[in-house]
Structure 1
Amino acid sequence: MRYEILGPLRVIDGKNAKTIKAQKVEILLAALVIRSDQVVSTDQLFREIWGEKLPRSATASLYVYISQIRKLLRHPRTETSPILTRPPGYMLTLGSDGLDLHDFTRLLNEGRAHLRNGRYEPAVRSFEHALALCRGPLLADVARGPILQGFRTWLNEAQLECMESLMEARMALGHHRELVSDLYLLSTEHPLREAFHRQLMLALHHSGSRGDALLVYQKARRTLREELGVEPGRALQNIQRTILTDN
């Protein structure tokens, strides 16, 4: 069995992909998967499912939801479930089951190590494989508690780091011109992310578009001043000076 949490939650059992239509049950399983092999207290689960507005039937409803998840995940041959009761709450045990989150973090760490050591082609492969696991937002509109909200924040940041590092590795391989359109898109989607502006300036400069590279700096500087009241960081300023003095 394999759990996939880097997008809409699903459980892969052989050739079958199981999804949960009941929103509260989906939130409960998502919280247990994110904290797999750790005990999640009933109070934490209450907050994930209902936020601050706890109904009187919360305890009874949680018991029903746990029963539904146990039935969904029960192994046909052994009749056992990976959902265990462990005071003060419940725990999902992975055992030999897979989890896409673990694959993502492994690939990200491999990519980081390759990039640090100048192994750019394997770094590109690691980052590309990591990003391919990300299928979309997880319960984007209904995450009420700190487990799901914190995970979503972490995943967004990890994906951006992965994308930045992928661009870095590709540029180190000399693919500047091919990256210009992607970096324009990324810098537009994430206007406060200075790394994408810096990478776009480098890609344009190495593609012979010095003027366009300097225009990117001016636009980034204007955005940062208007949105945050700050000047560009040292890395972005250094790239601008390098381009200005490069004859």
Structure 2
Amino acid sequence: MDIEVLGGLSVRENGLAVVPATAAARQVLAVLAACPDQLVPASVLAEELTEHAPAEVSRSLLLTCVRQIRTLLAAAGDPAARRTPETVLRAVPGGYLLDTGGGRSDVHEFARHAGAGYRAMARGDHETASRRLRDALGLWRGPAFDGITAGPRLTARIAGLEETRVAVLGQWVEAQLALGRHRELRSELHAAASGRALKAYRELVDVLAADFGRSPADATRAVRRTLLRGAA
């Protein structure tokens, strides 16, 4: 199973899309996809659904959503495989678990590239850092879980991902500045700001425009101030 959440939700089993038609079932799938291969308590999933139903009927709605997701998994299943809808979306004591079978996750790829970028920055390898951090940022297709109704758990997950994205952006900007790529950086950020909703991109364009021509240290300090203000 391949999962993408750094933009609109995309879940694919055997290459086939598994995205329910109803908003409630999409929300349940999104919460499960936010924590792949981990137990998500039924109480958490039910609480997410209070947007669609009163609390007293949300557990019944949860069971309906699980059935809808499993129906899609059955349609996408491989008859020769040992994975079944019930083993992919598994009922476990206390809740449910989405078993990816070791498939791709854009969040995991983002963390892997970002981690490599941070380590490269720590050892002063700004070229590698810039490349790996750019790879991490390139995985974002839009706001996390774009188009999915977010309850308490999903809202917290989205906020955490966006904060990490801003932090990675800041490290990439600093790597570019350390490499003396002020002009290229300003151009790239302007292009990114035109196509993305992330406020930090647009603010950094303004900062670099105001500090263009000053020393790299001045520009770096200005960038840091902007990122810290955005993360506050």
State TM-score, norm by structure 2. Answer: 0.76
Aligned-pair CA distance for 1:113: 0.5
2:188 matches 1:179: no
Once superposed, what is the RMSD of the aligned Cα atoms? 3.5
Aligned to 2:61: 61
Q: Deviations over 1:170-221 (max 9, x none)?
A: 11111112223456787x9449x7x8877666653148xx9xx7xxx7xx9x
What is the rounded CA distance, in whole Å, between the counterparts of 1:176 and 1:142 in structure 2?
Answer: 37
Paired residue type of 2:67: S
Name the amino acid aligned to 1:10. S
Which structure has the bigger radius of gyration?
1
Aligned length: 213
- 2:142 maps to a residue whose letter is G
Equivalent position of 2:131 in the other structure: 125
Aligned equivalents of 1:141 and 1:15: distance in 2? Answer: 22
Deviation at 1:13, TM superposition (A): 3.8
The one-letter code sitting in structure 2 at the alignment partner of 1:92 is L
How far is the alpha carbon of 1:21 from its aligned partner?
2.8
8 A contact 2:47–2:58 mirrored in 1: no
Q: Compute the displacement of 1:115 (Å).
A: 1.0
Trace 1:190-205 onto structure 2 (pairs within 5 A). Answer: 190=200, 203-205=212-214
**Contact 1:32–1:92, Cα closer than 8 Å, also in 2:** yes
Question: 1:240 matched to which residue of 2?
Answer: none
Deviation at 1:95, TM superposition (A): 3.0
Between 1:63-72 and 1:47-56, the stretch displaced more is 47-56
Pair 1:180–1:135, CA change in 2 (3 A) = closer
> In structure 1, the residue corresponding to 2:38 is in which secondary structure?
coil
Structure 2 spans left out of the alignment, 5+ residues: none
Using the alignment, how far apart are the partners of 2:155 and 2:19 within structure 1? 21
Which structure carries more relative contact order (alpha carbon 8 Å, separation 6+)?
Answer: 2
Q: Percent identity?
A: 28
Structure 2 CA distance for partners of 1:16 and 1:173, relative to 1, 3 Å: same
Q: Secondary structure at the match of 1:6?
A: coil
> How high is the TM-score relative to the length of structure 1?
0.72
Cα offset, 1:152, TM superposition: 0.9
1:159 positional shift: 1.2
Deviation at 1:71, TM superposition (A): 2.7
Cα pair 2:20 2:69 within 8 Å, conserved: no
Alignment of 1:147-186 (within 5 A): 147-182=153-188
AA aligned to 1:136 is: G
